[in-house]
Amino acid sequence: MDQRLIVTDLCRNQSFLSLFNTTLVEIQKGNDELKDNYANLTPDDFASLTLAVRNGQALAFSGMEISAEKWGANCARVSSKFYIPPAFRHTHLQKFEPSDKYINSAYLIPRQIAVAQSLGIECVFISRIDKRRSFGKFIDLVNANGGYTFKMYPHKLGVCGPLPLGYRPAECCQWIATMPLKKDADTKFLEYLENISCEDCNDSN
């Protein structure tokens, strides 16, 4: 068996597309509470879709999304739709220590950020709906593993773009960590989200 770790971008090389699709089918057969998030995903949904493979098995995947309507023209979300099959998850961790065993932060996110830079994207962000404390620890790991400078915003912001007045699904209010790829670009991005967010997002849950 090939013990090498292979990291590929399915938006640019679809050699492992069949394995990715098989993984999506397995997710739907399982009992993951977020499995609906992974239904019918395709590389076309992303600007970069990175997959880690070893021994013919998918170890993890996540992607980078660009949406001018939701986040403005110059900022992209990385680590989107992040998934690790149950067999490869690290459980009962007290804290994250920098290590290449954390596939997403060590390999997938850096690949996505490199693509963002090649496309002229000016800032990137990571978001999560809940669990602020564990999200903060994850951001610390991303920074330590990649030498990055992601910073968390103090309250949730709307990530679904402009919505009708009074309509804000819970999943649209998320914790956010940003990193500029161009000076002060994250400030402009956060101002954009502030302008389209509502008071319902200003909580600390």
Q: What is the pLDDT of residue 1?
A: 45
Angle at 201 between CA 60 and CA 83, to 5 degrees: 5
Asked if residue 184 has pLDDT above 90, the reply is: no
φ/ψ of 122, rounded to 5, equals -100, -15
Length of the chain: 205
Q: What is the pLDDT of residues 171-181, one digit of tens each?
A: 888 999 999 99
Q: What is the pLDDT of residues 49-85, one digit of tens each?
A: 999 999 999 999 999 999 998 998 899 999 999 999 8
Residues with Cβ within 8 Å of 72's Cβ and at least 6 positions away in sequence, in order, are 188, 189, 192
Q: What is the pTM of this model?
A: 0.90
Q: How many CB atoms lie within 10 A of CB 73?
A: 12
Cα four-point dihedral sign 141, 145, 148, 149: positive
Which DSSP string corresponds to 107-122? IIHHHHHHHHHHTT--
Q: Give, for 69, the enclosing helix (H) or strand (E).
A: helix 68-71
Q: What is the pLDDT of residues 146-171, one digit of tens each?
A: 999 999 999 899 898 887 666 667 78
What is Dmax (Cα atoms) for the chain?
A: 56
Reading the block at residue 90, the tokens are 């690290």
Give bridge partners of residue 174 from the DSSP assignment. Answer: 157
φ/ψ of 165, rounded to 5, equals -55, 130
Confidence at 98, pLDDT banded by 50, 70, 90: low
Reading the block at residue 143, the tokens are 């920074």
